[in-house]
Amino acid sequence: MPSVLSAEKYLRELSGWKRLLAAFLFGSVMALAMPPVGLFPVLWICIPAAIFLLQGTHSGWQAFGTGWSFAFGFFVFGLYWIAASMFVDIKTFWWAVPLAVAGLPALFAIYYGVAAIVARKLGLEGLGGAIAFALTWFLADWARGHLFTGFPWNLIGYAWSGQLAVLQVTSIIGIYGLSLLTVIAAALPVALKDKSRTARTAVSASILMFAAFAVWGEHRLRTTEVVSAPGVYIRLVQPNVDQKKKWVLDEREEHFQELISLTSKPSEKPITHFFWPETASTYYLSEDPFKRKQIADTIPASSAVITGVVRRTANENGTIKYYNSLVALDGLGNLVAGYDKAHLVPFGEYMPFRKHLPIPTIVQNSADFSAGPGPRSLRVRGLPLFSPLICYEAIFPGKVIDYNDRPDFLLNITNDGWYGRTAGPYQHFAIARTRTIEEGLPLVRVANTGISGIVDPLGRVAHALELGQQGIVDGDLPQPIRPTFYSRMQETPTWIFFFLFLGSFSKRLKNFWSKKH
């Protein structure tokens, strides 16, 4: 305990650039809690350290700088992989590398700098201070996940991605709820320096809470029956095409034939449906009946191929619109279903403030993509109802299905080839897998370079093909389980928790408002 107290005293007494550097370093270490490392215990080191550093601040600006630096370190090392996409065409996008490495983390960190100001105003001492930090961090997480199109990547709850039993609680409270409770639990040890019985009880209760989550989750995993959809046997095709070569015109036929070859490989059981990744074919399939027939000739007449494509339309004035789309082709080469991506990537698929920023997008290099109408359920003959999710549409909790037309499974097609062998594809897979637990729906995920796999509605990976491999995944399609509590209630339980904790220090709130006014 003396060494802990001396460390706490040392952090509180840091000032100036030393405090900012320490905050950055602890934030950087906290990124190790995220997939693929999943070292979640570091949360119980880094979050208390952030609170101790904030306790030593003497103004709102100092608090902002400390909170901002902590979050900046977390995002620099947690989202470094975004910069890898610039190296696909580094001659064109060299200037964007520092923006990806530091610019986006700097913007995201603003939410947490503001949260630090509010937490300091509420008071960071004792048990109430730990809760104040956790609640304001949660608000920053929520804002980052919803404002300006939102980017809820690496929420703290994903630190449990390697602990499937604990992750089962997202079927009740969702990833935001798990994130809130995790930050509270990790922050509580700062109150132990007061040596109060209440603080010791709170810390013990938080440990018991997560132990209970693990026990209940293990029970759920053991007792929930998951069966396969009758008469459905699917194949996922992972071509592993180098992103630098994917759109080279002289090589696109070779890539197309690789898809055909993988699709036509023999299987143990008759394949009923085939899945290709996002923009698998670089041909405009909706305009190319010959290529559609080539695909159809590869599969049984009663089967279908569901694939990602780029689609374009022209209006009466000749203006062309592009869509990042998914289409289903039957055994005759007919287009039988389609979906246009609704949640587009800013700067990647469209350029915000296009009139004022005449620069190309990362993906299209010329024109922006247009957005589709949003979540919907698609019907393809012989295949259970499914909700299509293109690329990072799978990262948005509570926004992955049409709740008025509940599907039987989630289909996530993606092209993580932009990010090479970095942490990005592993994080993307872990995030998408969490949606299965929240919704009680299985996941079929097919990626250009991986990770492709079939995940049951409890988040268990039944079949998978790892990152950087070319091949196929054949398997049965799991059936859904009944709608989860989260699926019915969404974020309501999380906000109930939030306001219950908020009400636990109403006196601090009164002081906060009296200082403000």
Kindly list the catalytic residues: 278, 341, 391
Q: Where are the alpha helices (DSSP H) in 391-505?
A: 423-439, 485-489, 492-503
Alpha-carbon distance 44 to 17, whole Å?
Answer: 24
Alpha-carbon distance 228 to 269, whole Å?
Answer: 14
CA-closest candidate to residue 1, choices 225, 164, 200: 200
Q: Where are the alpha helices (DSSP H) in 100-196?
A: 104-122, 126-146, 164-167, 170-187
Side chain identity, residue 302: S
Give buried/exposed letters for 37-52 (b at 16+ CB in 10 A, else e). ebebebbbbbbbbbbb
Alpha-carbon distance 497 to 411, whole Å?
Answer: 32
Alpha-carbon distance 483 to 331, whole Å?
Answer: 33
Give buried/exposed letters for 190-210 (b at 16+ CB in 10 A, else e). bbbbeeeeebeebbeebeeeb
Find the radius of gyration of the CA atoms of the chain.
24
Is residue 139 within 8 A of residue 115, CB to CB? The reply is: yes
Q: Determine phi and psi for 472, rounding to 5 degrees.
A: -130, 155
Alpha-carbon distance 68 to 110, whole Å?
Answer: 6
Q: Which residues pair with 388 in a beta bridge?
A: 411
Burial of 393 (0-12, 13-18, 19+ CB in 10 A): buried
> Which segments within 158-261 are labelled E, that is strand?
228-238
**Dihedral sign computed on CA atoms, order 12, 16, 22, 27:** positive
